[in-house]
Amino acid sequence: MSTDNDLRRRVGLQDKDATGSQNEKSNKDKKSASSSGGVGVVDVLRILGGLFLLNCLLSYFITNDSVLWGYRPWFVRPAAVMRYLQGPVSLTDAELLAYDGSDPNKPIYLALNGTIYDVTAGRRVYGPGGSYNVFAGKDAARGFITGCFAEDSTPDLRGAEWTYVSVDVPGFEEKEVTPEQKKLREQELRNARKKVKDTIEGWSKMFRGAGGKDYFEVGTVKREPDWLEKTPKRGLCAQAQKNRPKPKTAGKDAGAAYRPGA
Ligand code: HEM
HSE, side-chain direction, 13 A CA sphere, residue 30: 7
For atom 9 of ligand 1, which residue has the closest CA? 132
CA of 132 to the centre of ligand 1 (A): 7
Average pLDDT, the chain: 85
- Report pLDDT for 51: 94
* CA of residue 13 to ligand 1 center, whole Å: 88
CA of 39 to the centre of ligand 1 (A): 53
Indicate if the pLDDT at residue 169 is higher than 70. yes
Q: How confident is the model at residue 69 (pLDDT cuts 50, 70, 90)?
A: confident
Q: Using the predicted structure, report yes or no on whether residue 23 has a pLDDT greater than 80.
A: no
Question: pLDDT at position 133, please?
Answer: 98
Residues with beta carbon inside 6 Å of ligand 1?
122, 125, 131-132, 135, 144, 147, 213
Q: What is the mean pLDDT of residues 123-133?
A: 98
Q: Give the model's confidence band at 73: pLDDT under 50 very low, under 70 low, under 90 confident, else very high.
A: confident
| pTM, two decimal places | 0.74
**Which atom of ligand 1 is the closest one to the Cα of 122?**
15
The predicted pLDDT at position 225 comes to 96
Q: 76-85: per-residue pLDDT in tens?
A: 778 888 888 9
Mutate to test the pocket of ligand 1, among 125, 148, 164 (most ligand atoms within 8 A of CB): 125
> Over the stretch 187-205, which tens digit does the pLDDT of each residue have?
999 999 999 999 999 999 9
Residue whose CA is closest, atom 5 of ligand 1?
Answer: 144
Residue nearest atom 39 in ligand 1 by C-alpha distance:
125
Range with the lowest mean pLDDT among 106-110, 149-153, 172-176? 172-176
User: Which band of pLDDT confidence, cut at 50, 70 and 90, is reported for residue 68?
Assistant: confident
